[in-house]
Chain A
Amino acid sequence: MPQFKGSETVTASRQVVWDFITDPQKVGGCIPDLKSMHVIDTDHFDAEVKVGMGILRGTMKVKYEVTSKDPPSKITMKMDGSGLGSKALINAAVELKEVPQGTQLDWVADVTVSGTLAGLGARYLNDVAFKTVSDLFSCVKEKLAGGK
């Protein structure tokens, strides 16, 4: 599977962005189509998300884990999803830089999908995966717009 990249400029200070993306409740709120979540600790939570791709629709269980932190500029995380006879593994890294407008959020994500989803969605899987990850970060931008 390919690597996806994106960048958002958030009109908020780096500390505000950092606090947001390291708070499971807040990050969870930005996961697209979230059905429920259960926070274990600051670095771990379990979530259930709705997935729909072509004729395959249902729920995936996602285990979220922060794999490294370098406050307030770098964080890496792993999202391990399973369900619908499939596995989706996302390894993402986020870097925060101070810029005149606020904070620049650069993200990069490796997505590996196995199982029925990979077969069914062979032609549009990349688009769906990219959209899912980029929606998450554009949500961060929207929620923090104007924060200090």
Chain B
Amino acid sequence: MRDVKAPVLAWGAYLIVLGGSVAATKLVSGLMGHLFSLLCASIMASLILSFFMGLRVANNLLRVFALAGVMWLAIMLTLTMVDYVMRDIGECPNAQADDVARNAQGCPLDSAGNVRASDTGA
């Protein structure tokens, strides 16, 4: 059997990255921890694509097809999230910037201290 060393090394690298990702989840909370986990996931996926799915030695046409799949996903995620980020979904999607009294989530309150029905998206 030839070329056994590369996949075994990739397997070892994958496990190390996996360990780092899980450790980061316990040690680093919040956005930074989440971003690190997603970065680790990308590295692990790249290792599989390169060494177990053969993109490391594949011809360029095959690489373009594989990249097109990732690009499709990136375009869909980006366009979708740009829309939702700009429209401020979440606790109070219809909130106006000029409201004064707000609850802990930043939603505008009416005179009785309740989130207005028009601001809950209901």
Is B truly associated with A?
no
